[in-house]
Every structure is written in C-alpha cells, then in structure tokens.
Amino acid sequence: MSAPGSAPANDGPQVLRREFSLWSAFAFAFAFISPIVALYGIFGLALAAAGPSFWWGFALVFGGQLLVALVFAMLVSRWPLEGSIYQWSRRLLGTTYGWLAGWVYMWTLVIAMATVALGAAGFVANIAGVQAPSGGLRAVIALVILIGGTAINLIGRGALKVFMTASIVAEVIGSIGLGTWLLLFHRQNSISVLFDGGGQDIGTWAYLSGPFLIAVAFIGFSFVGFESAGAIAEEVHEPRRYLPKAVLFSLTFIALVVAYSSLAIILAIPDLDAVVAGSVADPVYETLTTALGQGIAKPVEVLFVIGFIASFLALQTSASRVIWAYARDGALPGATALARLRGSARIPVLAIGVTTVVGGALFGLSIVAGDIYALMVNFTTGGFYLAFLFPLIGFVVVLARRRWRDGAFSLGRATVPVAVLAAVWAVLQMLNISWPRPVYDQRYLDWSVWIGVAVVLAVGIAILVGVRGRIVGAEVVEELETAGV
C-alpha cells in the first residue's frame, strides 16, 4: 500500500511512452464517436421526434459543443495529463471534486464501450445472415468483439493507430462518398422539407420547445468524444501544442461529416411521411438499400461494423487510461497493481483487463434484463454531459477567483464569456437529455439518466471514503508527466 502523499510502489516511475502524433490524437478522437455510429444512433430517433427540421439541431449542438471544446483546449494545453476530465477537475477545485468528476467519466466510458459493442453485434449478425438476433446471440457476438478489441489494445499503440487510420478512411469514403452519390443521383425531397417544422398542426414555439428539444437531446450523442484526445495526453508527442488542435479539429470534422450525411439521407428518403410516422424501423439502411439496391447492403453493414469497432477501441482505451490515472494517484482499491505498466510498449494491462471484465458483466446483464440496454444507452449521453460539467464549472469558479494561468492555448479576453456560455450550455443540455419525458412504457426508464447517476455516485462516494487518505499529491503526477515530455 502506498503511503499518503507518495506515488504507488510500482516497478520504476510510471511514465507512458509517447507514440502518438497529432494525426493519431485526431484519429483517436474521431473514432471515439465515429460519424457512422453517431448517424446510425440518432438519425431515426431525431427524425421521428421532430421531422426533417431536426437537421438544424446539428448547428445548435455543434455551436454549444464548440464552446465546450474551446474550454477543454485551454485545459489540456495547461494540464496534458492522462485521464483528462479527472485531472483537469482535480487541479481546478481539489481532489474530491476531481475524483467524482473522473468517476462519472470513467463509468460513462465503460458503459458506452459496452453499448457500442452490442450495437456492432447486430450488424455482425445481419452480415452473417441472422436478421433478428436474440439478446443472447448479440451478447455473445459483443463478447467476441470485446475480446478482440482487448487483444488489439494489448498488442500496443501501433496496432491501435493502424486500425484508427483505417477506420477514418472507411468512414470518410462511406459517409461522404455515399452522401454525395445520394445528393447527385437519388434526391427524392426538396430542400424545403428542412423548413417544415412541426407542420401545420403545431406552432413554431410549440415545435421548438417540444419536438425540436427532444431531437437536440438525441443529437447530443453525436458530438462527444473530442475530449478523448486528452485522455491519452501523456502518450502524445508535444501535447501542449498538438492536443488543443486535435480537440477542435475532431469536433469540427465530425460535425461536418454527420451533418452532410444526414442532409443527403433526408433528401433521399423515398417515403418521408412514413419515416416521420415511425413506421420505418431503420430509415438510414432503408434509404440506402432503396436508392442503391440490395447489393449495397452488406458493404454498408461492413462499414458500420468498422465504425462501431473503432469507436469501441477508442472508448476502451480512454476508459483504461482513466482507470490507470486514478491508480497512479493511489485513488482506487488495488492501485499498485492497476498502475503497473507492462512490456516494452508500457501498456496498462490490468486497467485494460478491468474494462474487459466490466464489459462482459454488462453483456450478461443485458441478457437477464433487456431493459438494462435502454438504461445504458440513456445514461451514456447524460453521463458525458454531466462529466463535462465538472471541469466547466470548475473553470468558471477559478476564473472568478482570478486564479487561472493560461497554458499554450488561450482565448485571451474571450476566455471568460466563452467559459460562462459553455457552462450554461452544458447545464441546459444535461437537463434536456435527462428530463423524464414520458417516452417508455416502463416509467422508470424515463428516469434512467438520474437512476444511473445516483447508483454511480453512491458507489463512488463509498469507494472515495476508503481511498481518500491514500491519494497522492497532484504535484507528483505533474513531475512524472514533465519528465516524460
């Protein structure tokens, strides 16, 4: 056990190898919430909720998230430390505050990882000829994806970089290529459908305050993950210079690709009324196969699988690095073992293993209780925005106390208004996402974000009480990071 105020007693200083470039950090953040995953995950839901005018929600959410990304770019340029949100929040408002921030972020990453694997499993089953896979089959396929992804992560950063680059190529070709083809040769609807709002039966304000807000909540899932470049900060060359660029570029590029692809699909939908009415289960797949023929079905599903697996890998890597950052600080039970780096690549093997075990357990729960999957999906989006709130609020408080010192990236006089607007945006979007609207037959699922947050925080506080006295000082970690630059 480590003594208070000292680093865990591991074999040598726990310094990660810097093997990621600016491109690698960008690719990592891009893959974290890939355009294909984002598009497939929210398109049908947002369209059914608000009609084709939901598309304007992309601009609103991107604007809000860009404010958040600008704040995170400032934070990562000053503190380019593994664990991102955990490290930033801790240095802004103290150890307990940072611990809770990272705890929410850690569980959001792990649950998102399992959710993405289950999503990929459905496509794998379809490619294999199983059109309606059972929950058990999906869980088994997801477990195979989990084990395969874990193997890639354990091989080293080289394998991870190759897969991330391949996924970007596949997704850009798939998203932009197919989108352009649809716009040029398969347009079925006028651009005017984007201005229809809720139709003649609903007023503008009623539409904006109701259906459009629901669509904005769904779209919120599309534009997270840009902060993940900071989760691998100590593995990136020249992090103070490169990571702010990776954070901002990844968010902007993903927003452009998702908005462009969504526009193309909206204008190519053969029966828009049927889709808005919710009678088409999968409008993305249905539109592509109608326009391009059944022969395109399998290649499109392969692209989806690549996107989902790349997202899974980025999520697992991020989650394992947050766990490792906690362990290096002595902030988790079993910290000494969890913080140990192994092999010439210096990989946190046990931390990766923990994500594998927890993911497998979540797959088992999804079989026993099918509603667990819906709860996981709902908690994931709310969890990201709640995690974002910790450093955003902490940053505003530090600015108000006049204790902020700029890092390599700064907004100058715009820092205060951007920080305040980013915090207000995140609060409003968190409330919008977690608002218990009557959507599900099981009423408790409408409260799923709050149920998930309550359970995660209750368990977290119990663990924090046990480890609080053993957490090392922030200056120790900063000395190790500086030594690795």
pLDDT in tens, 122-156: 889 888 888 778 888 989 999 999 999 999 989 88
Q: What is the mean pLDDT of residues 333-342?
A: 91
Residue 482 pLDDT > 70: no
CA–CA separation, 215 and 49 (whole Å): 6
pLDDT for the residue numbered 472? 84
d(CA 233, CA 459): 28
Q: Position 401: which residue type?
A: R
Q: For 126-200, where are the E strands, in sequence order?
A: none
* Residues 31/396, Cβ–Cβ less than 8 Å: no
Query: Rounded to an integer, what distance in angstroms lies between the CA atom of residue 385 and that of residue 432?
Result: 11
DSSP state of 134: -
Q: Which residues pair with 236 in a beta bridge?
A: 20
Instruction: Return the structure tokens found at 345.
Output: 């690549």
- Report percent pLDDT > 90 for the chain: 49
Placement of tokens 């921030």 in the chain: 101
Would you say residue 59 has pLDDT above 60? yes
Please tell me which of 53-67, 264-278, 302-316 the model is most confident about, judged by mean pLDDT: 53-67
CA distance 151 to 165: 18
Tally of CB atoms within 10 A around 392: 28
CA distance 267 to 39: 15
- Looking at residue 46, what DSSP letter applies? H
CA angle 392, 114, 287 (to 5 degrees): 95
Distance separating alpha carbons of residues 326 and 34, to the nearest angstrom = 27
Per domain, the residue ranges of the chain are 22-405+414-468
Please state the pTM of the whole predicted model: 0.90
What pLDDT is attached to residue 221?
Answer: 85
CA distance 93 to 404: 12
**Are 18 and 235 within 8 A, CB to CB?**
yes
CB atoms within 10 A of CB 124: 22
The pLDDT of residue 10 is above 60: no
Position 248 scores a pLDDT of: 95
Q: Could you please state the CATH topology (level 3) that the domain comprising 22-405+414-468 is classified under.
A: Amino acid/polyamine transporter I (1.20.1740)
Report pLDDT digits (tens) over 415-462: 999 999 999 999 999 999 999 888 777 888 888 899 999 999 999 999
Maximal C-alpha separation, the chain: 69
Which of 30-34, 325-329, 421-425, 443-447 is predicted most confidently? 421-425
d(CA 138, CA 376): 15
pLDDT digits (tens, 9 = 90+) for 171-193: 887 788 888 999 999 999 999 99
Give the integer Cα–Cα distance in Å for 396 and 305.
Answer: 40
Q: Which pLDDT tens digit goes with each residue over 67-101?
A: 999 999 999 999 999 999 999 999 999 999 999 99
Around Cβ 273, how many Cβ atoms within 10 Å? 9
**Spatial contact of 85 and 388, defined as CB atoms under 8 Å apart:** yes
pLDDT band at residue 478 under the 50/70/90 scheme: low
